[in-house]
């Protein structure tokens, strides 16, 4: 049985590649900086996980020991200073370790694009990584692809959010170049199939979908598939700064990630030659429109296998996290509490009603007044009991959607909003007398106005939810102290 290493298992492609390798009967090992982020994957118990860092040259010897082939799926998504050096150093460390371990082959997924002045610095860096991986003698199969189309891919999410949220879409010279999008299922087929094709070792193979389009046409085709009437206005003098700023404002993709993608729009990224067809005649790539339809089906079924956010999203144990993905905004505060989880639950399950909302009560009251002015219920309904809470009952202008006694309470907003909102309180035991408290706000915006509503209140949300989490911790610790004194 061949032993395969996947470096970059938490990424969009890596997370989908691993179960397909396991299905083929390969023995898989993963190299990850944060192994804990793999714990929830359905395949985590079927692979060996090695903690390591290619940039810091840690864990590589252990990860590559006895490996027949290795996938190098690591790259910088963000436009940060010095990323080119970081990528080159990381690739060099990996190449040297692979050669020393006698690894049979490295498989790398890079980017399309002809060498020249119009090639973006990120695409240049992708090409450079391929050269570095080849520099130590280990045979490399380098696939070069344009944008990957699939549920949760960063390129597809940019297209989806722009078309869904903008009734009028500005275009410019940035959208005139041609692109050959590749369905994620086809990309994975190439990556898996090459292991059984020794003739692909030492090759640079360009892979793309069945059709090539201008970037503007990618937006138009998506709109047609969704049945959305969108007007396109040609700005002509659009620039990278404006494009990345707009993407950062309209979509969940921050400017630091959108800028490299926008820069890459200036050059054609289409395949030249027929190496992919020659080496992989059994793979018939999908056209762009079909790839979009498959991605939308996955989204509608809530069957998104991996998302681009996993590659950089902070772990859930960080003090603050924020995500806007798959149409749902998630905003969380996490605190360690020196009190039992049951004590923390007792505090937060008693919120609302006569006790109020613990922090910035005047803001909650203002929100209730605003809700009544637009025809909502405000906080007139209160709560049934000051201490006991039941699933399905009212808590001020929330409905208790779910309760796990001693652990969790999920509230659904019944105030009038341009979207759907939830507030989740959760206490997880860390030890006998300590716990982790998580306060998470979820919002599913309806259209552009829903997004403007949430983001216009973003500073207030950060302030009020952080303050609320801190106050719940303070009250829980005080209650725990009272309980201990009574017991003592």
Residue 182's alpha-carbon distances to 53, 155, 164, 187, 225, in angstroms, are: 29, 11, 21, 7, 17
**Token pair of 90, please?**
């990381």
> Which residue's entry shows tokens 């007007």?
231
Query: What CATH number does residue 334 fall under?
Result: 3.30.530.20
Same domain for 105 and 246? yes
Same domain for 196 and 90? yes
> Which of 285, 311, 337 is the C-terminal boundary of a domain?
311
> Which residue's entry shows tokens 């309470």?
409
User: How many angstroms separate the CA atoms of 462 and 474, rounded?
Assistant: 18
Query: How many folded domains does the chain comprise?
Result: 2
**Token pair of 144, please?**
């070069």
How would you write the pLDDT of the chain (488 residues) with one tens digit per residue? Answer: 799 999 999 888 999 999 999 999 999 999 998 787 787 678 888 999 999 999 889 999 999 999 999 999 988 765 555 778 888 999 999 999 999 999 999 999 998 888 776 777 778 888 999 999 999 999 999 999 999 999 878 888 888 888 888 888 877 776 778 899 999 999 999 999 999 999 999 999 999 999 999 988 999 999 999 998 988 887 766 555 566 666 666 666 665 566 666 666 677 888 988 899 999 999 999 999 999 999 988 877 766 676 655 554 333 234 444 455 556 788 889 999 989 999 999 999 999 988 899 999 998 888 888 887 877 777 766 777 888 888 877 888 888 888 989 999 999 988 888 888 899 999 998 766 789 999 999 988 888 888 888 888 888 888 999 999 999 999 999 998 888 777 66
Same domain for 480 and 360? yes
How many Å from the N-terminal Cα to the C-terminal Cα in the chain? Answer: 61
Same domain for 210 and 329? no
User: How many angstroms separate the CA atoms of 304 and 186, rounded?
Assistant: 16
Same domain for 74 and 41? yes
Same domain for 395 and 246? no
Return the pLDDT at 319: 43
Same domain for 234 and 158? yes
Same domain for 170 and 137? yes
What residues form DSSP beta bridges with 169? 232
Same domain for 324 and 307? no
Query: 31 and 63 in contact (C-beta within 8 Å)?
Result: yes
Return the pLDDT at 71: 97
User: How many angstroms separate the CA atoms of 49 and 30, rounded?
Assistant: 5
> Which of 286, 311, 336 is the C-terminal boundary of a domain?
311
Same domain for 333 and 296? no
For residue 240, report the phi and psi dihedrals to the nearest 5 degrees.
Answer: -65, -40
Query: 78 and 113 in contact (C-beta within 8 Å)?
Result: no
Return the pLDDT at 138: 94
pLDDT digits (tens, 9 = 90+) for 375-407: 777 776 677 788 888 887 788 888 888 898 999
- Burial classification of residue 34, based on how many CB atoms lie within 10 Å of its CB (0-12 exposed, 13-18 middle, 19 or more buried): exposed
Domain with 237 in it: 3-311
> Which of 311, 340, 367 is the C-terminal boundary of a domain?
311
Among 26, 25, 33, residue whose Cα is nearest residue 9 = 33
pLDDT digits (tens, 9 = 90+) for 199-243: 999 999 999 999 999 988 999 999 999 998 988 887 766 555 566
Among 476, 439, 464, 468, residue whose Cα is nearest residue 334 = 439
Contacts with 230 (C-beta within 8 Å, 6 or more apart), sequence order: 163, 166, 167, 168, 169, 219, 220, 223
For residue 31, report the phi and psi dihedrals to the nearest 5 degrees.
Answer: -110, 115
Whether the full predicted model's pTM is greater than 0.95, yes or no, is no
**Token pair of 230, please?**
């969108």
Query: What CATH number does residue 116 fall under?
Result: 3.40.50.720
Same domain for 330 and 287? no
Same domain for 326 and 278? no
């Amino acid at each position: 049985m061949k032993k395969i290493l996947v470096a970059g298992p938490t990424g969009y492609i890596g997370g989908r590649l691993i179960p397909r390798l396991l299905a083929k009967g390969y023995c898989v090992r993963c190299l990850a900086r944060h192994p804990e982020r793999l714990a929830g994957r359905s395949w985590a118990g079927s692979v060996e996980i090695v903690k390591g860092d290619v940039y810091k040259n840690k864990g590589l010897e252990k990860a590559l020991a006895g490996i027949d082939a290795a996938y190098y799926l690591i790259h910088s998504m963000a436009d940060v200073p010095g990323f080119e050096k970081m990528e080159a150093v990381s690739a060099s460390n990996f190449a040297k370790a692979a050669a020393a371990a006698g690894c049979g082959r490295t498989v790398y997924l890079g980017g399309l694009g002809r060498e020249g002045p119009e090639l973006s610095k990120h695409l240049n860096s992708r090409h450079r990584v391929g050269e570095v991986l080849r520099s130590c003698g280990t045979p490399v199969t380098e696939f070069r692809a344009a944008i990957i189309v699939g549920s949760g891919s960063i390129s597809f999410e940019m297209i989806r959010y722009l078309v869904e949220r903008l009734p009028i879409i500005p275009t410019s010279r940035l959208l005139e170049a041609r692109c050959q999008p590749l369905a994620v299922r086809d990309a994975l087929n190439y990556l898996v199939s090459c292991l059984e094709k020794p003739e692909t070792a030492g090759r640079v193979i360009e892979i793309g979908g069945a059709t090539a389009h201008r970037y503007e046409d990618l937006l138009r085709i998506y709109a047609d598939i969704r049945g959305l009437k969108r007007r396109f206005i040609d700005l002509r003098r659009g620039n990278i700064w404006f494009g990345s700023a707009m993407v950062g404002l309209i979509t969940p993709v921050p400017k630091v990630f959108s800028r490299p993608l926008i820069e890459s729009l200036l050059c054609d990224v289409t395949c030249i030659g027929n190496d992919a067809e020659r080496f992989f005649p059994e793979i018939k790539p999908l056209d762009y429109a079909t790839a979009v339809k498959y991605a939308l089906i996955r989204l509608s079924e809530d069957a998104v296998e991996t998302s681009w956010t996993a590659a950089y999203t902070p772990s859930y144990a960080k003090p603050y996290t924020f995500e806007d993905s798959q149409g749902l905004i998630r905003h969380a505060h996490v605190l360690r509490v020196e009190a039992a989880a049951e004590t923390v639950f007792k505090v937060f399950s008693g919120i609302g009603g006569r006790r109020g909302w613990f922090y910035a009560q005047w803001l909650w009251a203002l929100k209730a007044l605003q809700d009544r002015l637009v025809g909502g219920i405000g906080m007139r309904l209160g709560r049934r009991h000051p201490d006991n809470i039941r699933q399905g009952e009212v808590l001020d202008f929330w409905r208790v959607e779910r309760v796990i006694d001693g652990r969790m309470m999920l509230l659904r907003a019944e105030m009038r909003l341009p979207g759907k909102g939830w507030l989740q309180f959760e206490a997880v035991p860390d030890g006998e007398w300590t716990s982790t408290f998580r306060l998470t706000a979820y919002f599913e915006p309806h259209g552009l106005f829903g997004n403007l509503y949430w983001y216009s209140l973003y500073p207030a949300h950060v302030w009020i939810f952080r303050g609320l989490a801190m106050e719940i911790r303070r009250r829980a610790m005080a209650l725990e102290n009272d309980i201990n004194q009574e017991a003592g």
